[in-house]
Amino acid sequence: MRKLFISLCMAGMLAGLTSCGTSRVALTSIDALNGEWKITEVDGQGVKPLPGEKEAFIGLNAKEMRLYGNASCNNLIGGFEADVKNGTISFGNTGTTQMMCPAMETEGKVLQALGKTKSFELQKGGKLVFKADDGKTLMKMEKK
């Protein structure tokens, strides 16, 4: 009986320690991805609009599996597939409007990151992270 009690206590402590080290949110529905997400970081660099640029954001419509948003200059639209259970997401062909802006660097990085994205992680505090095949963080966002 004592061994069982000690085993249960140890299991409880390990579970508690494991949960303290993560900021990941367990998803039960793809609806958690719904809404507009302000892009705060791409390829390890912070994103702030330059004069004349719009705020870069991505909107996800989980019901229709549609992507929309703005990559800092041009509007974007496309589709996506996601598996909440496995934390995978991929974006099909993403189309953009064809405006020219003084600075297109952020836009290029956003589009490149979307093309490489293979998984996502929803974190506490309304944060969404897109990752590459190798687990490298490509883009960080926060709920608008």
Tell me the pLDDT of the chain (144 aa) as tens digits: 444 333 434 444 334 333 344 566 666 688 999 999 999 999 999 998 877 788 999 999 999 999 999 999 999 999 999 999 999 999 988 999 999 888 788 999 999 999 999 999 999 999 999 999 999 999 999 999
Is 88 a member of any domain? yes
Query: Does residue 75 fall inside a structural domain?
Result: yes
Cα dihedral 38→44→48→53 (10° resolution): -90
Rounded Cα gap, residues 122 and 118, in angstroms: 14
- pLDDT at residue number 18: 38
Q: Is residue 32 part of a domain?
A: yes
Whole-prediction pTM value? 0.79
41 occurs within a structural domain: yes
**Is residue 14 one of the residues assigned to a domain?**
no
**Is position 86 within any domain?**
yes
Check which CATH number belongs to the domain holding 137 and give it: 2.40.128.270
**Alpha-carbon distances, residue 123 vs 12, 97, 99, 120 (angstroms):** 23, 31, 34, 10
Is residue 52 in a domain? Answer: yes
Range of the domain at 49: 24-143
Decide if 141 contacts 60 (C-beta within 8 A).
Answer: no
Domains: count for the chain: 1
User: Which alpha helices (H) appear in 21-137, and where do they start and end?
Assistant: 105-116
In a domain, residue 8? The reply is no
74 contacts 107 by C-beta, under 8 angstroms? yes
pLDDT at 50: 79
